[in-house]
Amino acid sequence: MKARLLTLVIFSVLTIGISIESRGQASGGIGFFCPGIHTIQYSQLNDYLPSGYPVISNKPFVTAGSGYGIFSNFVIGGEGGTTHAGSFTNSSNQVVDLAGGFGFFSLGYVVFNNKGILAFPTVSIGSNDLEMYVHQKDLNPSFLNVVSEPFQATTIRYSTKLLKFSLAGLYTLKGNKSEKGSAGLMIGLEAGYQMAYKTGTWKYDNGDLSGGPDFCNNAFFIQLMIGGGGVMKK
């Protein structure tokens, strides 16, 4: 709760502070490739896994694509991407692979647009799926061994609904940069916080699983934005 409150306060202060520098009405379109890091913690998931399972330790790397239309300073768009949490193996060659996907619909407002520099906060709503593939890594198994034990691998999925608060800052690296707007190659950063607004569900073979951990997708994140477009100012 404290982290959520702190995030909202910081987000509000940044928005109010930067909005003083807003000039004119911006309109245009921009799109980006967005690699980044999410600080999701897997301790709750590790606690629920049976003793001897591989320990899930790292913070997931994400790759995403985003696109936004800008109309009189209002920003509307979305983002979709893949979570690459990693593959984890123990001494018995038991493997846990974690990966997933996410998607968001976003609304925002341009608070700074001048000489190739663009900044806008956004509020996004979306969902996240995490797939956990548990299997045994046998070297050179025979066909008969596999068909005789077809259940030596299992995939379960965790789905949840998310809210995301973020601030993006962009710079036109190459192209037009003037008082009237900017267009060309852009690079920047997006940083913020995402939180679950609804308890997630575990599924196995499209059916609900009971007794699973209330896995927390709440996390700070930072993403690089590489792309471009054009934003004109009236």
Q: Which amino acid is at 78?
A: G
- Residue pair 67/30 in contact (Cβ under 8 Å)? The answer is yes
The answer to whether the beta carbons of residues 201 and 208 sit under 8 Å apart is: yes
So what's the pLDDT on residue 16? 52
Q: Torsions phi, psi of 17, nearest 5? A: -65, -45
Residues 6+ apart with CB under 8 A from 36: 61, 62, 64, 190, 221, 222, 223, 224
Please, is 14 exposed, middle or buried when counting C-beta atoms within 10 Å of its C-beta (0-12, 13-18, 19+)?
middle
Confidence at residue 1, expressed as pLDDT on a 0 to 100 scale? 52
Name the E strands within 57-180. Answer: 61-71, 74-89, 94-109, 112-114, 117-136, 153-178
The predicted model gives 136-151 an average pLDDT of 69
Which overall architecture, per CATH, does domain 2-233 show? Beta Barrel (2.40)
Residue 106, token pair as written in the block: 């976003």
For range 136-164, the mean pLDDT: 77
Residue 34 vs residue 42, higher pLDDT: 34
Domain ranges of the chain: 2-233
Arithmetic mean of pLDDT, 209-226: 86
Predicted pLDDT at 155: 86
Q: Count CB-CB contacts under 10 A for residue 149.
A: 12
